[in-house]
Structures are given as C-alpha cells and as structure tokens.
Amino acid sequence: MATARAYHTATLLNSGKVLVSAGYGLVAYLASSEKYDPSTDQWNSASNMTTARYHHTAVLLNSGKVLVSAGYGWPGYLASSEIYDPSADQWNSATSMATARYYHTAILLNSGNVLVSAGYGWPGYLASSEIYDPSADQWNSATSMAIARAFHTATLLNSGKVLVIGGAESSSLLAGCEIYDASTDEWNSASNMTTVRTFHTATLLNSGKVLVTGGTEVASCEIYDPSTDEWNSASNMTTVRAFHTATLLNSGKVLITGGLTPSGVFLESSEIYDPSTDQWNSAASMAVPLAYYTATPLSLGKVLITGGITLDTFLASSEMYDP
C-alpha cells in the first residue's frame, strides 16, 4: 500500500476490488483510502475521506456503496458517517449517529439497513443501538441491549437475526450473548458461552452455526447452534491468540491468522479449522507477525491481508493466502 496503517477497514467491492479506508498510521489518524485490484496485483489511491478516523466500521450496502461510521479521531469519539461511491470515487457525508462511539459493530440486515450496536463512548461502555436507512440517509434509535459492552462481535444469522457475543463491560469480560430481531426491534438473551472472552472472532459456518475462536488469554473455541440456543465446545486452537482474524474459505473451513499472545508476542502462525471433523491443522505462516490488520476473502477464494502492526512498526505491506 502507499500508506502504512493499522486499525483500518477493508471492504470487498462488487467489482472484486478491495477498498482500504482510514486507520492509524505513523503520525496520526488517517483519512486516506486505497483500492487493491486482484486482477493486476496493484494498489491505487482513492479519494480521501472527509474525516480521519480509526476503530470505525465499514459496511458494503446493497447499492454497492460503502458506509463508514463512527470511530475515533479529532477531537475524540466520532458520531459522523460517510459513504463511498466506487463508481465516482467520491466520499460524501452521511447523517451523523445520535451517539459517538468506537469499538462498536455494524451489520447489514436483510432489509438493507445497517445495525450499529454498543461500543465505547461517553460516558463509557454503551448499550445503545442505532439503525441506518440508506434510502433516507437517516439514523433511527433501536432498542438498547441488556448489557453495555465493547470489543464484542456481531454475526448475521441465517434467520436474519443478529447474534452479539461477549466483549467487555467496565473491568469485566463477558460470556453473555444477545440476539437482535429486526422485525420486532427486540433484543433477547441467548445462552452464555462457556468462557468469557473479548477480542475474539465469530464466523458463520455453512451449517448456519457460529464458530467462536480465542480471545484474551484463551485458545478455546465454541460453536453456537441457533436452532437450539446451545453452545458446544469445539477443539482448541494450537495457539492462544487474540486480535487475530478468522476467514471462511470457499471449502467451508475457517482460516485463523496472526494476533497476539497473552504476553504480547505478535504471531505469524496460521491454522485452519475443519467443521466436518472438529479438527485444527497448521497452515502456512504469514511473512510477518501481525496484529491489528485486516483479512479479506476475495472472489477467487484467496485471502488478502493488509497493513497492521508488528512489534512497534506500522506496516504498508500486503500478503495473499492461497488455500
């Protein structure tokens, strides 16, 4: 890439290109964007965002545009949103959210609207949720979650409901989960995980179940079955890791890469989970130990790794994993 960055987002566009947006770099918050073209293996500059930010979210809308919301920048927690139009290479301001936040989640609902939930802002951990309607450029309040949290995950289930998992509230790590039903605007409690966790991953499997991996100080994994509201233990990863990524491959297996150990060691190792056998197997290591990077599945089944941090260095490099 042209710019070293971490805490950014990477979004697969309908064209097959990947839009990398904002983040934190060698000096400060970034407003720059770049696009990667897998067909030519080239990075090209894209228009700058209107607001520099990191720890934001980016969601591909049904229109093919990209909604970026909230995050952290100047002068602090952000409520602003903007939309990128790939056909014009333009960023345009969208309506701001009611509540400034970062470390939140954003999920495209089946309706085409976007659910933003929880996160951290003023005066601390948030339980509030908001829904963005792209057709009207409006944010509307949604029902608040039962438990305020940040550093959680949110997964769209096959039912169209959204499963929020774990995270942290104040000084406590969470095992609690909640499910949002957009048709009724209701949050309902789901079964707790067996292990509290934060900075973990959650991946929707082809079976409709959800695989949760790792998190702070754990190598354990569990699988959630929405049809029974039950968590079941899965095989442990070979390495304890948090701040890693999990990518569903075309084979239905899950690729885990990088992250940090409990002692703060950056990892280059990768492993692959096979849901049909409940087994982990080692995969090729990355070229550089990484955390705070992105992993994006491409249309041909490969996985693009961009940016991140290794030791105290922000990276502009990219890597490609070929299953």
**What are the φ/ψ torsions at residue 160 (nearest 5 degrees)?**
95, -10
DSSP calls for 120-137 = E-SSSEEEEEEEEETTTT
Give the HSE-up count for residue 242: Cα atoms under 13 Å, Cβ half-sphere: 17
Q: What is the pLDDT of residue 312?
A: 85
Among residues 82, 79, 110, the alpha carbon closest in space to that of 180 is found at 110
Cα torsion 268, 290, 33, 120 to 10°: value is 130
Q: What is the pTM of this model?
A: 0.97
Looking at residue 7, the DSSP 8-state letter turns out to be S
Q: What is the pLDDT of residue 27?
A: 86
Element (H, E) at 173: strand 172-173
Give domain limits for the chain. Answer: 1-96
Among residues 123, 13, 104, the alpha carbon closest in space to that of 33 is found at 13
Q: β-strands 313-314, 309-310: how paired?
A: antiparallel
pLDDT values of the chain reduced to their tens digit, one per residue, 323 residues: 999 999 999 999 999 999 999 999 998 999 999 999 999 999 999 999 999 999 999 999 999 999 999 999 999 999 999 999 999 999 999 999 999 999 999 999 999 999 999 999 999 999 999 999 999 999 999 999 999 999 999 999 999 999 999 999 988 999 999 999 999 999 999 999 999 999 999 999 999 999 999 999 999 999 999 999 999 999 999 999 999 999 999 999 999 999 999 999 999 999 999 999 999 999 999 999 999 999 999 989 999 999 999 988 999 999 999 99
**What are the φ/ψ torsions at residue 55 (nearest 5 degrees)?**
55, 35
Among residues 28, 34, 40, the alpha carbon closest in space to that of 3 is found at 34
Look-up of token digits 């450029």: 137
Q: What is the pLDDT of residue 64?
A: 99
Q: What are the residues whose beta carbons fall under 8 Å from the beta carbon of 212, sequence distance 6 or more?
A: 153, 165, 166, 193, 197, 200, 201, 202, 203, 221, 222, 223, 224
Q: What is the pLDDT of residue 150?
A: 98
The amino acid that residue 189 corresponds to is S
CA distances (Å), origin 52, targets 113, 225, 309: 24, 39, 19
